[in-house]
């Protein structure tokens, strides 16, 4: 009968047990550190990006702009940040409109930006200081914290008054408010309602056009082979009725291939693209 106490077999088992416990504890510590690090990194990565993009533009006091920007959402419920919360920031970074070159869009983000980046004849909101500093980023705060978070934030559709959506709504209103001269808008001819009443273009921008500043609204309806809509589309007739009185409405169907070809042809002036 094996002697009570610690025979070699029992000692080995006990030793293996202790080593396994230590290994599990070490793993837990490593995971906790990694999580802590990642959380920390995700709580302060927006400010350096904001400041470096802003400083490249050499137009504003970027530190002041950052302070005003984060006041809109820091220490607030991320589903309770109104458009108006960004008013101080919007005022401090007033948009400098390029009359006759301003481009609006809806459901055509990639075609528009491929075109405006290659042809450099139009100014979209994303080309302004306001838009270029924040384009593609996400951010939010939370009650009881003075941190800016760049993850764990409400998605676009999670709640209407989230920090990112309210910012783009407010910035869009500001962009439309200063629109002037001949204004262009690229809409999507491959969908049944190119002028969607719930879109930012319809619900905010068209409503903020001023007939004292905007002369024309020229719609460029981007079409593909499987034409779905054209300029007689009902939603576009609605657009016409919603335009502030005095603004002349034009609409032209332009194949996406034509836009893309023109984008790539540096010899061709923008006006010849449609």
156 or 227, CB closer to ligand DVN? 156
Q: Contact between 115 and ligand DVN (CB under 6 A)?
A: no
- Angle at which helices 46-57 and 62-71 cross, to 10°: 140
Shortest distance (Å) from residue 231 CB to ligand DVN? 18
65 or 125, CB closer to ligand DVN? 125
Q: Contact between 86 and ligand DVN (CB under 6 A)?
A: no
d(CA 65, CA 74): 14
Which residues touch 68 (CB under 8 Å, ≥6 apart)? 88, 89, 92
175 or 209, CB closer to ligand DVN? 175
Residue 181 near residue 217 (C-beta atoms within 8 A): no
The interface region with ligand DVN, picked from 77-85, 105-113, 217-225, 249-257 by CB under 6 A, is: 105-113
Residue 146 near residue 74 (C-beta atoms within 8 A): yes
Using alpha carbons, select from 223, 215, 219 the residue that is nearest to residue 244. Answer: 215
d(CA 170, CA 76): 18
Q: Which of 11, 12, 40, 109 binds ligand DVN (CB under 6 A)?
A: 109
74 or 103, CB closer to ligand DVN? 103
Q: Contact between 166 and ligand DVN (CB under 6 A)?
A: no
Q: Which of 201, 219, 259, 263 binds ligand DVN (CB under 6 A)?
A: 201
Number of neighbours of residue 162 by Cβ within 10 angstroms: 23
Q: Contact between 105 and ligand DVN (CB under 6 A)?
A: yes
Beta strand ranges found along the chain (DSSP E): 103-106, 181-188, 214-223, 248-255
* Contact letters for ligand DVN, residues 124-153 (x by CB under 6 A): -x----------------------------
The interface region with ligand DVN, picked from 17-25, 87-95, 106-114, 222-230 by CB under 6 A, is: 106-114
Q: Which of 62, 68, 179, 200 binds ligand DVN (CB under 6 A)?
A: 200
Read off the tokens for 203: 């619900």
Count of residues engaged in binding ligand DVN, rule: CB under 6 A:
15
What helix, strand, coil percent values describe the chain, rounded to 5? 50, 10, 40
193 or 199, CB closer to ligand DVN? 199
Residue 171 near residue 125 (C-beta atoms within 8 A): yes
Shortest distance (Å) from residue 77 CB to ligand DVN? 20
User: Which spans of this chain sit near ligand DVN (rule: CB under 6 A)?
Assistant: 104-107, 109, 125, 156-157, 168, 172, 175, 199-201, 205
């Amino acid at each position: 009968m094996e002697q009570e106490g610690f025979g070699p077999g029992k000692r080995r088992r006990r030793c293996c047990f202790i080593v396994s416990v230590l290994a599990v504890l070490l793993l837990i510590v490593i995971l906790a550190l990694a999580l802590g690090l990642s959380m920390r990194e995700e709580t302060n990565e927006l400010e350096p990006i904001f400041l470096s993009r802003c400083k490249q533009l050499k137009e504003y006091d970027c530190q002041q702009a950052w302070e005003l920007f984060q006041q809109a959402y820091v220490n607030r419920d991320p589903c309770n940040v109104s458009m108006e919360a960004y008013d101080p920031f919007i005022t401090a970074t007033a948009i400098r409109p390029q009359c006759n070159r301003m481009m609006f869009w809806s459901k055509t983000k990639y075609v528009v930006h491929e075109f405006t980046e290659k042809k450099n004849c139009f100014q979209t909101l994303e080309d302004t200081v306001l838009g270029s500093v924040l384009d593609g980023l996400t951010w939010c705060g939370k009650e009881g914290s003075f941190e800016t978070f760049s993850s764990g934030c409400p998605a676009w559709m999670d709640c209407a008054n989230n920090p990112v959506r309210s910012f783009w709504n407010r910035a869009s209103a500001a962009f439309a408010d200063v629109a002037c001269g001949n204004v262009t808008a690229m809409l999507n001819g491959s969908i049944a309602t190119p002028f969607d009443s719930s879109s930012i273009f319809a619900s905010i921008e068209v409503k903020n056009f001023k007939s004292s500043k905007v002369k024309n609204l020229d719609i460029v309806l981007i079409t593909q082979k499987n034409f779905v809509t054209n300029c007689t589309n009902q939603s576009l007739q609605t657009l016409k009725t919603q335009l502030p009185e005095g603004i002349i409405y034009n609409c032209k169907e332009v194949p996406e291939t034509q836009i893309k070809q023109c984008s790539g042809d540096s010899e061709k002036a923008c006006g010849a693209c449609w």
